[in-house]
Structure 1
């Protein structure tokens, strides 16, 4: 309510200033022979209406063009189209107003050359002001969005780091390692090596915005080894990914695998099948859907939102999520190097 009140107040104040400008222009341009009160009032009202039409009409036109053509992405096109639209509008508005006053009062504004030139100058000033204001608004908005995206990315990276060093994963890994030490010492040694590889990558990537596919796949293989040792035949991994050129946000693939394990039943009767493959410039993580009920203190969807947030900062290509009664599929765009 207060915002609408302030906007209305701003419009009224602007109109008062425009009326004042019309009166001043009339005093400057009207010829001494025509300084009768009746003529003065007609010309002053004409000037004021002209200013109001030019100001608010050009403001509306400018706002509409801002929606269609982005100042930041297409500055030259926006400037040229803006000037053409404003010149066309100004010409039509001026002609219509002159015709109205000529019909109503017999006023011949065209006879006053000084007035014509003054109108042109005022039009140029209004046009430059509107374009300048529009550009500054767009630039400021883009700057705010960039800063917002940067903060969102920092928060997402921090959340990602917190998720990966959570005690649950370490606790489960140590439990598995305890059993392995007695059952298979060679496998236990490999388990320790892969566990250290996982945490090394987590620590190395905590300040990185993107990582190469080669690095991420090496880390992912270590993580998958740990999970398959933990779950055995309950978890089936079909990893078809090969090292290739490109980047992705660090830990993104691992988080999707972790999400699949977290949100689905993993048992001998209902083994979880996770398939990883590349398709049309995307890395795809798909799993059979067999949802389990999560405790209320472990809300779902955080990891996926984290990944989406980081992608919004890095690219216009969105993360795709597809789901039906049988499968859950997430597609991560591969980011081009450089």
Structure 2
């Protein structure tokens, strides 16, 4: 912010001197008949600029604590300006009163006039500084939003790339082509259905790869198609239950999140006929979250988990919502809760 810049004392002195030169050129003191030497006036302006600036810096420093009491109803810039008004009255009026009364011995009428002139100048300095500070604030917010937009784009691209890589992964294609080949000999109709679901998976990824949010209904349809492929491949080794009320399918989530969680469950857990892996997708009791839960049957660790998938989902949600992605782990299950979002017009 403006009040904490490194060369602030240079700007303070420059502002005080600039104000003095303006008053000098306007011949304000002779016009009002104030018998005050220019040296005193310059000193007052320099002192006022320093005290107003440093007072605003202290307000800015303690602003987070003050906002806890006022709540989110008042903008921090407005609160800063309101607090700076009594500050300006004290730091400008106090020294002017002391100088005029105890040093210059001005008569009451002249003292009152001098006080008015000093306070007028002081409040203008304060308004000027708070206006520049507001410009600094909004410029910083703009830059921050641009940085966050770039970060979100980068993270989304990472998720899209990972999903596309999973779909064109030779193992993924090889496994699904093997399943398709076997079905062609066993059941042509089922093979045709398998091929249709496989095409839906690719179509969804390609159509939604650039979106920030997608409807839960569309994500669940994609999940159903992806689950169909996995059921055909793993058969009795994998059970996937998807049960989400229709009323929640118009909510929103980040794209490909469910598929990443499904892959995460398969990657880290054993699935066999004797110990089938169960993955459930359902709504939380308050219908504010989409819950993905799988039984924990950990594979022997080959390498430490990087948690890139979960971190990617967390960060993408962080850019579009303040609601957190919740992760719980017990001895028997692993659960991820995704916020169900509304789009505000």
CA contact under 8 A between 1:55 and 1:126: conserved in structure 2? no
CA contact under 8 A between 1:234 and 1:271: conserved in structure 2? yes
The question of 1:17 aligning with 2:14 is answered yes
Partner of 1:307: 313
Identify the match of residue 322 of structure 2 among 316, 322, 326: 316
Identify the match of residue 196 of structure 1 among 199, 203, 221: 199
CA contact under 8 A between 1:21 and 1:48: conserved in structure 2? no
Which sections of structure 1, spanning at least 5 residues, go unmatched? 1-5
What is the rounded CA distance, in whole Å, between the counterparts of 1:75 and 1:129 in structure 2?
25
Question: SS where residue 240 of structure 2 aligns?
Answer: strand
Partner of 2:218: 215
Question: SS where residue 86 of structure 1 aligns?
Answer: helix
Partner of 2:127: 128
Which sections of structure 2, spanning at least 5 residues, go unmatched? none
What is the rounded CA distance, in whole Å, between the counterparts of 1:75 and 1:17 in structure 2?
36
TM-score (norm 1): 0.81
Size of the aligned set, in residue pairs, is: 326
- Counting only pairs closer than 5 Å after superposition, residues 1-338 of structure 1 correspond to structure 2 as 8=6, 10-18=7-15, 20-21=17-18, 24=21, 34=35, 41=39, 44-62=42-60, 64-65=62-63, 77-78=75-76, 80-98=78-96, 101=99, 105=103, 111-113=110-112, 115-166=114-165, 167=169, 168-243=171-246, 244-279=249-284, 280=286, 281-292=288-299, 300-337=306-343, 338=345
CA contact under 8 A between 1:234 and 1:272: conserved in structure 2? yes
What is the rounded CA distance, in whole Å, between the counterparts of 2:290 and 2:39 in structure 1?
73
Q: CA deviation at 1:288?
A: 2.0
Question: SS where residue 212 of structure 2 aligns?
Answer: coil
Q: CA deviation at 1:100?
A: 5.5
What is the rounded CA distance, in whole Å, between the counterparts of 2:107 and 2:262 in structure 1?
76
RMSD: 3.5
Question: SS where residue 317 of structure 1 aligns?
Answer: coil
What is the rounded CA distance, in whole Å, between the counterparts of 2:77 and 2:177 in structure 1?
64
